[in-house]
Chains A and B, each alone.
Chain A
Amino acid sequence: MTTGELSPELQAYVGRVSSFVEGPDEVNKAMIRHWCEMVEDANPLYTDEAYVTAGDCGGITSPPTMLSTWVYPQWWPPVAMPSDVGPAQLDLPLGDVPIPAVISWTDEYLQPVRPGDRIRYNTRLDDVSPLKRTRLGIGHFITTTNYYYNQRDELVGTTRYVLLRYRLAEQEPTGQ
Protein backbone atom coordinates (compact mmCIF):
# COMPACT_ATOMS: atom_id res chain seq x y z
CA MET A 1 0.00 0.00 0.00
CA THR A 2 1.40 3.33 -1.03
CA THR A 3 0.61 6.15 1.34
CA GLY A 4 1.62 8.94 -1.02
CA GLU A 5 3.84 10.11 -3.82
CA LEU A 6 7.56 10.53 -3.42
CA SER A 7 8.22 14.12 -2.50
CA PRO A 8 10.17 16.29 -4.96
CA GLU A 9 12.69 16.80 -2.15
CA LEU A 10 13.44 13.05 -2.04
CA GLN A 11 13.20 12.64 -5.80
CA ALA A 12 16.06 15.12 -6.13
CA TYR A 13 18.43 12.66 -4.44
CA VAL A 14 17.78 9.86 -6.94
CA GLY A 15 20.74 9.29 -9.25
CA ARG A 16 23.39 10.75 -7.02
CA VAL A 17 26.76 9.00 -6.88
CA SER A 18 28.83 9.04 -3.71
CA SER A 19 32.51 9.62 -3.23
CA PHE A 20 34.78 6.58 -2.85
CA VAL A 21 35.49 4.70 0.35
CA GLU A 22 38.39 2.26 0.57
CA GLY A 23 38.31 -0.88 2.69
CA PRO A 24 40.40 -0.72 5.86
CA ASP A 25 42.64 -3.67 4.94
CA GLU A 26 43.99 -5.17 1.81
CA VAL A 27 42.43 -8.46 0.79
CA ASN A 28 44.11 -11.08 2.97
CA LYS A 29 44.29 -14.79 3.60
CA ALA A 30 43.35 -14.59 7.27
CA MET A 31 39.96 -13.00 6.64
CA ILE A 32 39.38 -15.42 3.76
CA ARG A 33 40.00 -18.33 6.11
CA HIS A 34 37.63 -16.88 8.71
CA TRP A 35 34.95 -16.66 6.03
CA CYS A 36 35.53 -20.25 4.94
CA GLU A 37 35.34 -21.40 8.58
CA MET A 38 32.01 -19.60 8.97
CA VAL A 39 30.30 -21.64 6.23
CA GLU A 40 32.67 -24.64 6.21
CA ASP A 41 33.68 -23.95 2.61
CA ALA A 42 36.51 -26.26 1.50
CA ASN A 43 36.93 -24.80 -2.01
CA PRO A 44 40.71 -25.07 -2.57
CA LEU A 45 40.77 -21.87 -4.64
CA TYR A 46 40.27 -19.94 -1.41
CA THR A 47 42.80 -21.52 0.91
CA ASP A 48 44.95 -24.22 -0.75
CA GLU A 49 48.28 -22.81 -1.97
CA ALA A 50 49.37 -26.13 -3.44
CA TYR A 51 46.18 -26.43 -5.44
CA VAL A 52 46.29 -22.96 -6.94
CA THR A 53 50.00 -23.27 -7.73
CA ALA A 54 49.58 -26.64 -9.42
CA GLY A 55 46.54 -25.41 -11.31
CA ASP A 56 48.09 -22.14 -12.50
CA CYS A 57 45.10 -20.34 -11.02
CA GLY A 58 46.88 -17.01 -10.53
CA GLY A 59 47.07 -17.51 -6.77
CA ILE A 60 44.52 -17.66 -4.00
CA THR A 61 41.13 -16.12 -4.82
CA SER A 62 38.77 -14.53 -2.34
CA PRO A 63 35.35 -16.15 -2.14
CA PRO A 64 33.34 -13.91 -4.45
CA THR A 65 30.64 -13.57 -1.81
CA MET A 66 33.15 -11.68 0.37
CA LEU A 67 33.00 -8.70 -1.97
CA SER A 68 31.20 -6.34 0.38
CA THR A 69 33.18 -7.55 3.38
CA TRP A 70 36.38 -6.10 1.96
CA VAL A 71 35.01 -2.59 2.31
CA TYR A 72 33.29 -3.04 5.67
CA PRO A 73 34.51 -0.20 7.91
CA GLN A 74 36.88 -0.80 10.77
CA TRP A 75 35.33 -1.07 14.24
CA TRP A 76 37.94 1.03 16.00
CA PRO A 77 38.97 3.77 15.99
CA PRO A 78 35.71 4.98 14.51
CA VAL A 79 35.89 6.52 11.07
CA ALA A 80 33.39 8.97 9.69
CA MET A 81 31.63 7.32 6.77
CA PRO A 82 30.11 9.55 4.12
CA SER A 83 26.37 9.30 4.65
CA ASP A 84 25.67 8.78 0.95
CA VAL A 85 27.75 5.56 0.75
CA GLY A 86 26.16 2.14 1.17
CA PRO A 87 22.60 0.84 1.14
CA ALA A 88 21.17 2.76 4.13
CA GLN A 89 21.59 6.28 2.64
CA LEU A 90 21.39 7.70 6.14
CA ASP A 91 21.29 11.35 5.13
CA LEU A 92 18.01 11.00 3.20
CA PRO A 93 15.27 13.02 4.94
CA LEU A 94 12.97 10.04 5.41
CA GLY A 95 11.62 10.87 8.86
CA ASP A 96 11.20 8.25 11.59
CA VAL A 97 12.17 4.98 9.87
CA PRO A 98 14.97 3.73 12.13
CA ILE A 99 15.00 -0.02 11.34
CA PRO A 100 16.80 -1.31 8.24
CA ALA A 101 15.92 -4.61 6.57
CA VAL A 102 17.59 -6.03 3.49
CA ILE A 103 14.92 -7.03 0.97
CA SER A 104 17.21 -8.15 -1.84
CA TRP A 105 20.92 -8.23 -2.45
CA THR A 106 22.32 -9.04 -5.89
CA ASP A 107 26.03 -9.35 -6.54
CA GLU A 108 27.79 -9.53 -9.88
CA TYR A 109 31.35 -10.79 -9.85
CA LEU A 110 33.40 -9.47 -12.77
CA GLN A 111 37.06 -9.99 -11.83
CA PRO A 112 38.84 -12.23 -9.32
CA VAL A 113 39.76 -10.57 -6.02
CA ARG A 114 43.03 -11.78 -4.54
CA PRO A 115 45.18 -11.26 -1.43
CA GLY A 116 47.01 -7.96 -1.73
CA ASP A 117 44.22 -6.22 -3.64
CA ARG A 118 42.87 -2.93 -2.31
CA ILE A 119 39.14 -2.58 -2.83
CA ARG A 120 37.24 0.70 -2.85
CA TYR A 121 33.67 1.45 -3.76
CA ASN A 122 31.11 4.08 -4.38
CA THR A 123 27.33 3.99 -4.34
CA ARG A 124 24.69 5.18 -6.75
CA LEU A 125 21.23 5.88 -5.35
CA ASP A 126 19.02 4.23 -7.96
CA ASP A 127 15.56 4.71 -6.47
CA VAL A 128 13.54 5.64 -3.37
CA SER A 129 9.94 4.50 -2.99
CA PRO A 130 7.12 6.55 -1.51
CA LEU A 131 6.19 5.63 2.06
CA LYS A 132 4.61 2.16 2.02
CA ARG A 133 2.93 -0.17 4.47
CA THR A 134 4.67 -3.55 4.44
CA ARG A 135 4.51 -6.75 6.46
CA LEU A 136 7.38 -5.40 8.56
CA GLY A 137 6.09 -1.91 9.16
CA ILE A 138 5.84 1.43 7.42
CA GLY A 139 8.79 2.63 5.43
CA HIS A 140 10.67 3.46 2.26
CA PHE A 141 12.36 1.02 -0.11
CA ILE A 142 15.81 2.29 -1.10
CA THR A 143 17.57 0.84 -4.15
CA THR A 144 21.30 1.40 -4.50
CA THR A 145 24.23 -0.08 -6.39
CA ASN A 146 27.73 -0.37 -4.99
CA TYR A 147 30.55 -0.38 -7.55
CA TYR A 148 33.75 -2.05 -6.34
CA TYR A 149 37.16 -1.32 -7.90
CA ASN A 150 40.63 -2.69 -7.28
CA GLN A 151 43.94 -0.81 -7.18
CA ARG A 152 44.18 -1.08 -10.98
CA ASP A 153 40.86 0.76 -11.34
CA GLU A 154 39.22 -2.42 -12.64
CA LEU A 155 35.55 -2.86 -11.77
CA VAL A 156 35.65 -6.17 -9.88
CA GLY A 157 31.97 -6.38 -9.03
CA THR A 158 28.73 -4.69 -8.11
CA THR A 159 26.04 -5.10 -5.46
CA ARG A 160 22.50 -3.96 -6.01
CA TYR A 161 20.62 -3.63 -2.74
CA VAL A 162 16.98 -3.07 -2.03
CA LEU A 163 16.74 -1.99 1.59
CA LEU A 164 13.60 -1.18 3.56
CA ARG A 165 13.98 1.49 6.21
CA TYR A 166 10.89 1.28 8.41
CA ARG A 167 9.19 1.82 11.72
CA LEU A 168 6.91 -0.68 13.40
CA ALA A 169 3.20 -0.28 12.75
CA GLU A 170 0.92 -0.04 15.81
CA GLN A 171 0.48 -3.82 15.89
CA GLU A 172 3.54 -5.91 16.52
CA PRO A 173 4.74 -7.79 13.45
CA THR A 174 4.37 -11.53 13.33
CA GLY A 175 7.97 -12.29 14.13
CA GLN A 176 9.84 -11.78 10.88
Chain B
Amino acid sequence: MLVTNGALHWEDVAQGAEIPSVSLEITRNRLVMIVSATRDIFPLHHDEEFARAAGHRAPAVATAFLQGLLGRCLTDWTGPEGRIRRLGLTLKAATYAGDTVSAGGRVARKYVDNNDHKVDCELAVVTQDGTTTVTAEATVVIPSRGWDPKH
Protein backbone atom coordinates (compact mmCIF):
# COMPACT_ATOMS: atom_id res chain seq x y z
CA MET B 1 0.00 0.00 0.00
CA LEU B 2 1.24 3.48 -0.82
CA VAL B 3 1.57 5.57 2.30
CA THR B 4 1.34 9.24 1.45
CA ASN B 5 3.69 11.68 3.11
CA GLY B 6 1.92 13.19 6.07
CA ALA B 7 -0.70 10.44 6.22
CA LEU B 8 -2.44 9.94 9.51
CA HIS B 9 -1.00 7.13 11.60
CA TRP B 10 -2.79 5.29 14.36
CA GLU B 11 -0.13 6.36 16.86
CA ASP B 12 -0.93 10.03 16.14
CA VAL B 13 -4.64 9.70 16.91
CA ALA B 14 -5.83 10.73 20.37
CA GLN B 15 -9.11 9.79 21.95
CA GLY B 16 -11.38 12.80 21.75
CA ALA B 17 -9.50 14.33 18.82
CA GLU B 18 -11.58 16.30 16.36
CA ILE B 19 -12.43 14.90 12.95
CA PRO B 20 -12.63 18.03 10.79
CA SER B 21 -15.96 18.92 9.23
CA VAL B 22 -16.73 18.96 5.55
CA SER B 23 -19.58 21.16 4.33
CA LEU B 24 -21.76 21.18 1.24
CA GLU B 25 -24.74 23.25 0.16
CA ILE B 26 -27.57 21.17 -1.27
CA THR B 27 -28.28 23.41 -4.22
CA ARG B 28 -30.75 22.45 -6.93
CA ASN B 29 -27.84 21.26 -9.03
CA ARG B 30 -26.51 19.10 -6.24
CA LEU B 31 -29.97 17.64 -5.69
CA VAL B 32 -29.93 16.53 -9.32
CA MET B 33 -26.46 15.02 -8.84
CA ILE B 34 -27.66 13.20 -5.73
CA VAL B 35 -30.62 11.64 -7.53
CA SER B 36 -28.40 10.67 -10.44
CA ALA B 37 -25.50 9.25 -8.44
CA THR B 38 -27.55 7.39 -5.84
CA ARG B 39 -30.04 6.15 -8.48
CA ASP B 40 -32.77 6.79 -5.92
CA ILE B 41 -35.70 8.38 -7.76
CA PHE B 42 -38.22 7.96 -4.95
CA PRO B 43 -40.19 11.25 -5.30
CA LEU B 44 -39.63 12.25 -1.67
CA HIS B 45 -36.04 13.03 -2.69
CA HIS B 46 -36.83 15.50 -5.49
CA ASP B 47 -40.57 16.32 -5.72
CA GLU B 48 -41.77 19.28 -3.61
CA GLU B 49 -45.47 18.37 -3.76
CA PHE B 50 -44.87 14.76 -2.86
CA ALA B 51 -42.61 15.79 0.01
CA ARG B 52 -45.19 18.23 1.41
CA ALA B 53 -47.93 15.61 1.23
CA ALA B 54 -45.67 13.38 3.34
CA GLY B 55 -45.34 16.13 5.96
CA HIS B 56 -42.00 17.61 4.88
CA ARG B 57 -41.20 21.24 4.11
CA ALA B 58 -39.05 20.38 1.08
CA PRO B 59 -37.62 17.33 -0.69
CA ALA B 60 -35.62 15.24 1.77
CA VAL B 61 -32.32 14.01 0.37
CA ALA B 62 -31.57 10.32 0.06
CA THR B 63 -29.71 8.81 3.00
CA ALA B 64 -27.10 7.46 0.61
CA PHE B 65 -25.92 11.05 0.04
CA LEU B 66 -25.35 11.49 3.76
CA GLN B 67 -23.44 8.21 3.84
CA GLY B 68 -21.26 9.43 1.01
CA LEU B 69 -20.65 12.72 2.79
CA LEU B 70 -19.70 10.98 6.04
CA GLY B 71 -17.44 8.60 4.11
CA ARG B 72 -15.69 11.58 2.56
CA CYS B 73 -15.34 13.23 5.98
CA LEU B 74 -13.63 10.09 7.30
CA THR B 75 -11.14 9.57 4.50
CA ASP B 76 -10.43 13.29 4.11
CA TRP B 77 -9.25 12.96 7.72
CA THR B 78 -7.38 9.64 7.49
CA GLY B 79 -6.03 10.11 4.00
CA PRO B 80 -6.50 7.45 1.33
CA GLU B 81 -4.79 4.77 3.42
CA GLY B 82 -7.73 4.78 5.82
CA ARG B 83 -10.25 2.00 5.36
CA ILE B 84 -13.83 2.40 6.53
CA ARG B 85 -15.01 -0.89 7.99
CA ARG B 86 -18.33 0.16 9.45
CA LEU B 87 -20.57 3.20 9.10
CA GLY B 88 -23.88 3.39 10.92
CA LEU B 89 -26.27 6.33 10.58
CA THR B 90 -29.21 7.18 12.80
CA LEU B 91 -31.60 9.59 11.12
CA LYS B 92 -32.71 12.25 13.59
CA ALA B 93 -34.46 14.59 11.18
CA ALA B 94 -34.80 14.97 7.45
CA THR B 95 -32.05 16.79 5.55
CA TYR B 96 -33.68 19.07 3.01
CA ALA B 97 -32.92 20.46 -0.39
CA GLY B 98 -31.58 23.97 0.21
CA ASP B 99 -29.82 23.06 3.46
CA THR B 100 -26.09 23.43 3.95
CA VAL B 101 -24.78 20.36 5.72
CA SER B 102 -21.59 19.87 7.71
CA ALA B 103 -20.31 16.41 8.59
CA GLY B 104 -17.69 16.00 11.29
CA GLY B 105 -17.01 14.40 14.63
CA ARG B 106 -14.49 13.11 17.11
CA VAL B 107 -12.45 10.04 17.99
CA ALA B 108 -14.29 7.88 20.49
CA ARG B 109 -11.79 5.05 20.95
CA LYS B 110 -8.62 3.54 19.46
CA TYR B 111 -7.60 -0.09 19.78
CA VAL B 112 -5.91 -3.00 18.05
CA ASP B 113 -8.16 -5.78 16.87
CA ASN B 114 -6.57 -8.85 15.30
CA ASN B 115 -3.59 -6.80 14.04
CA ASP B 116 -5.90 -4.10 12.62
CA HIS B 117 -5.27 -0.67 14.09
CA LYS B 118 -8.79 0.64 14.53
CA VAL B 119 -10.41 3.91 15.48
CA ASP B 120 -14.06 4.25 16.44
CA CYS B 121 -15.52 7.62 15.51
CA GLU B 122 -18.64 9.51 16.57
CA LEU B 123 -19.96 11.73 13.80
CA ALA B 124 -22.87 14.01 13.07
CA VAL B 125 -24.41 15.87 10.18
CA VAL B 126 -25.56 19.36 11.18
CA THR B 127 -27.47 21.89 9.07
CA GLN B 128 -26.97 25.66 8.83
CA ASP B 129 -29.48 26.33 11.64
CA GLY B 130 -27.78 23.91 14.02
CA THR B 131 -30.15 21.00 13.53
CA THR B 132 -28.47 17.61 13.86
CA THR B 133 -30.08 15.53 11.15
CA VAL B 134 -27.85 12.46 11.47
CA THR B 135 -25.68 10.95 14.15
CA ALA B 136 -23.28 8.25 13.06
CA GLU B 137 -20.73 5.79 14.35
CA ALA B 138 -17.86 4.55 12.24
CA THR B 139 -14.90 2.24 12.54
CA VAL B 140 -11.84 2.93 10.42
CA VAL B 141 -8.56 1.05 10.07
CA ILE B 142 -5.54 3.30 9.61
CA PRO B 143 -1.85 2.54 9.16
CA SER B 144 0.33 1.97 12.17
CA ARG B 145 3.99 2.88 12.08
CA GLY B 146 4.70 -0.66 13.23
CA TRP B 147 2.98 -2.04 10.14
CA ASP B 148 3.85 0.72 7.73
CA PRO B 149 5.87 -0.72 4.81
CA LYS B 150 7.90 2.51 4.60
CA HIS B 151 9.13 2.34 8.18
B100 interface contact, C-beta 8 A? no
CA distance A18 to B96 in the complex (A): 33
A6-56 at interface with B (beta carbon < 8 Å): 31, 34-35, 37-45, 51, 54-56
A103 and B91 contacting across the interface, CB-CB below 8 Å: yes
- Asked if A95 CB lies within 8 Å of chain B CBs, one says no
Task: Give the contact stretch, choosing among A57-65, A114-122, A144-152.
Answer: A57-65
Interface assignment of A143: CB less than 8 Å from any CB of chain B: no
How far apart sit A58 and B34, CA to CA, in the bound complex (Å)? 28
- Beta-carbon contact of B89 and A72 below 8 Å: no
On chain A, the residues within 8 Å of B36 by CB distance are 34, 38
Picked from A57, A101, A108, A110, the residue with its CB within 8 Å of the CB of B2 is A57
Q: Does B67 contact A (CB under 8 A)?
A: yes
B41 to chain A, nearest CB (A): 6
- Closest CB in chain A relative to B71 CB, distance in Å: 4
Q: Does B151 contact A (CB under 8 A)?
A: no
- Please determine whether B55 and A173 come into contact, CB atoms closer than 8 angstroms: yes
The reply to whether B30 and A109 form a contact with Cβ atoms under 8 Å apart is no
Residue contact B64 to A68, C-beta cutoff 8 Å: yes
A103 to chain B minimum Cβ distance, whole angstroms, is 6
Q: Once the chains bind, are A107 and B86 in contact (CB under 8 Å)?
A: yes
Q: Which of A120-140 contact B (CB under 8 A)?
A: 136-137
Cα-based distance from A109 to B86 in the complex (angstroms): 6
- B68 A63 Cβ-Cβ under 8 A: yes
**Which of chain A's residues have a CB closer than 8 A to the CB of B54?**
99, 168
Q: A-B pairs with the 3 shortest C-beta distances?
A: A55-B2, A106-B88, A72-B39
Binding site for B on A (CB under 8 A): 31, 34-35, 37-45, 51, 54-57, 63-66, 68-69, 72, 75, 99, 101-110, 136-137, 160, 168, 172-173, 175-176
Interface residues of B (CB under 8 A from A): 1-2, 22, 24, 30, 33-34, 36-41, 54-57, 63-65, 67-72, 75-76, 80, 83-91, 93-94
23 contacts between A and B (CB under 8 A): A37-B33, A38-B33, A38-B34, A38-B65, A40-B22, A41-B72, A51-B80, A57-B1, A65-B64, A65-B67, A65-B87, A69-B37, A69-B39, A72-B39, A75-B39, A104-B91, A105-B63, A105-B88, A106-B86, A107-B87, A108-B85, A136-B55, A175-B57
Known: A106-B89, A160-B88. 17 other contacts (CB 8 A): A34-B37, A35-B37, A38-B34, A51-B2, A56-B2, A65-B87, A69-B38, A75-B39, A103-B90, A103-B91, A105-B67, A105-B89, A106-B87, A107-B67, A108-B86, A172-B55, A176-B56
